[in-house]
């Protein structure tokens, strides 16, 4: 059975159940999604944006598919889509790339959507944390959908964490759509600490209005296979985006981040910083494209990808791209792949720090550059601890929160 057929057959079987558990806005999109998915199948590595992903292999295993709607009390400003403002509900599936078959599969199988809606002028004081905890006896596939709508001048921090509470295989296909009104500000963090048997496809699609600013940080601390996609459309003048990411990968982990920053109007700024530390047989990939459309003058864009390969079997693919159709712009990108500074190692060893510890310090320092850009102080401190633990190999499972116990 082809990998695609497994999903289309499953959908044919449960389409009524899904429709009954879901809402009109979501059900209305399914037919088209099915057509897209059936026509295209899983993206092959021949597609430029999926060059480094092994989609078919990731989706082939026989997973049970979770179809439970959201349950339990939700934090402030968070709603199930059925309870959200009708004005917000219509935005569902309007931002995501409907032609992409991974998105189509998500649209097809998602039962519920978590809506985060911050009304005009409201500054949400405490960060909104959304924890996804994967737990179950059986191998499970989860389709998750989140819609974040920031009205004009709204401000919020949203932290989305992925954790695994049991040792089964999990496959997550997550789509986040973000609509940012004029003058709004959003800090969006995606933190992944799962285990080697977890595969995660996360796609984030953002539309930004005038003078809005987005700070997106993606942290892959522990995972199996991860594919992250971030598409940002800068549609309003004066909008800004900062997209940062760090990856710590070892063993057989695979992390592929693919970003597209689309400068559609003049006077926008974008900045990207992605750092990878790869150990053992880990494979890392970063492909970031900055597109400056015709007329998007006075664009300022900066893209940096720095990578540390600690072993011979670790592999890194880096592809920072610029596509520019306007002349009055300043765009730059840089990419490096290298190893630890021998002089710095020597310096530390001279001062009595043993080699493994010195190497660890250097790796931590390398990652720190990304963490230091996080505006949320408490999260920054927590991450320093997590990174240190991760590098010491202590963070192979989630610890602390009572939900996991």
Q: Give yes or no for residue 329 binding another protein (CB under 8 A).
A: yes
Q: Give yes or no for residue 191 binding another protein (CB under 8 A).
A: no
Q: Which of 173, 244, 253, 318 binds another protein (CB under 8 A)?
A: 318
Q: Which of 310, 344, 353, 360 binds another protein (CB under 8 A)?
A: 310
Are the CB atoms for 20 and 118 separated by under 8 Å? no
CA distance 379 to 11: 39
Span near another protein by CB under 8 A; candidates 209-217, 236-244, 307-315, 389-397: 307-315
Q: Which of 25, 242, 307, 379 binds another protein (CB under 8 A)?
A: 307
Span near another protein by CB under 8 A; candidates 226-234, 325-333, 353-361, 381-389: 325-333
Question: To the nearest whole angstrom, how small is the minimum distance from the Cβ of residue 59 to another protein?
Answer: 24
Q: Which of 311, 347, 375, 381 binds another protein (CB under 8 A)?
A: 311
Q: Which of 21, 315, 384, 397 binds another protein (CB under 8 A)?
A: 315
Residues sharing a CB contact under 8 Å with residue 117, sequence separation 6 or more, in sequence order: 77, 79, 84, 85, 88, 148, 149, 151
Span near another protein by CB under 8 A; candidates 120-128, 223-231, 328-336, 389-397: 328-336
**Helical packing angle, 377-391 and 355-371, nearest 10°:** 150
Alpha helix ranges (H) inside 119-264: none
Q: Give yes or no for residue 167 binding another protein (CB under 8 A).
A: no
Question: To the nearest whole angstrom, how small is the minimum distance from the Cβ of residue 192 to another protein?
Answer: 23
Are the CB atoms for 50 and 114 separated by under 8 Å? no
Question: To the nearest whole angstrom, how small is the minimum distance from the Cβ of residue 45 to another protein?
Answer: 13
CA distance 305 to 246: 10
Q: Give yes or no for residue 297 binding another protein (CB under 8 A).
A: yes
Are the CB atoms for 351 and 220 separated by under 8 Å? no
Query: In angstroms, how far is CA 336 from the centroid of its own chain?
Result: 22
SS percent in the chain: helix, strand, coil, step 5: 25, 40, 35
Site string for another protein, 27-66 (x = CB under 8 A): ---------------------x------------------
Binding-site size, another protein (CB under 8 A): 36
Q: Give yes or no for residue 322 binding another protein (CB under 8 A).
A: yes
Cα dihedral: 14, 15, 21, 26 (round 10): 140
Look at residue 15 and give its three-state secondary structure: helix
Are the CB atoms for 118 and 77 separated by under 8 Å? yes
Which one, 83 or 346, has the nearer CB to another protein? 346
Contact positions vs another protein (CB under 8 A): 48, 294-295, 297, 307, 309-339
């Amino acid at each position: 059975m082809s990998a695609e057929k497994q999903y289309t057959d499953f959908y044919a079987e449960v389409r009524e159940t899904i429709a009954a558990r879901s809402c009109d806005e979501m059900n209305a999109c399914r037919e088209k999604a099915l057509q897209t998915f059936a026509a295209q199948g899983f993206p092959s590595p021949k597609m430029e944006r999926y060059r480094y992903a092994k989609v078919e292999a990731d989706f082939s295993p026989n997973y049970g598919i979770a179809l439970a709607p959201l349950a339990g009390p939700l934090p402030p400003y968070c709603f199930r889509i059925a309870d959200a403002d009708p004005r917000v509900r219509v935005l569902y599936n309007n931002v995501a790339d409907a032609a992409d078959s991974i998105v189509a599969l998500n649209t097809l199988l998602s039962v519920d959507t978590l809506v985060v809606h911050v009304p005009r002028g409201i500054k949400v004081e405490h960060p909104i944390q959304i924890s996804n905890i994967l737990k179950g006896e059986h191998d499970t596939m989860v389709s998750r959908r989140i819609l974040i709508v920031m009205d004009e001048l709204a401000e919020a921090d949203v932290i989305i964490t992925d954790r695994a509470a049991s040792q089964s295989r999990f496959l997550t296909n997550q789509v986040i759509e973000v609509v940012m009104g004029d003058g709004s500000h959003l800090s969006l963090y995606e933190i992944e600490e799962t285990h080697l048997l977890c595969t995660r496809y996360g796609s984030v699609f953002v539309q930004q209005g005038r003078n809005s600013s987005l700070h997106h940080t993606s942290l892959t601390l522990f995972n199996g296979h991860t594919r992250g996609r971030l598409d940002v459309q800068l549609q309003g003048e004066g909008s800004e985006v900062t997209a940062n990411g760090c990856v710590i990968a070892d063993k057989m982990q695979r992390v592929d981040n693919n970003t597209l920053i689309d400068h559609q109007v003049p006077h926008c700024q974008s900045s990207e910083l992605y750092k990878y530390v790869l150990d053992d047989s880990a494979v890392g990939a970063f492909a970031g494209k900055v597109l400056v459309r015709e007329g998007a003058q006075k664009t300022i864009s900066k893209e940096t990808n720095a990578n540390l390969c600690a072993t011979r079997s670790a592999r890194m693919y880096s592809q920072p791209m610029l596509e520019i159709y306007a002349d009055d712009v300043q765009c730059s990108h840089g990419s490096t792949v290298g190893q630890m500074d021998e002089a710095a190692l020597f310096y530390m060893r001279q001062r009595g720090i043993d080699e493994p510890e010195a190497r660890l310090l250097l790796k931590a320092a390398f990652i720190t550059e990304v963490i230091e850009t996080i505006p949320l102080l408490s999260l920054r401190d927590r991450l320093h601890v997590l990174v240190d633990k991760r590098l010491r190999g202590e963070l192979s499972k989630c610890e602390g929160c009572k939900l996991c116990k």
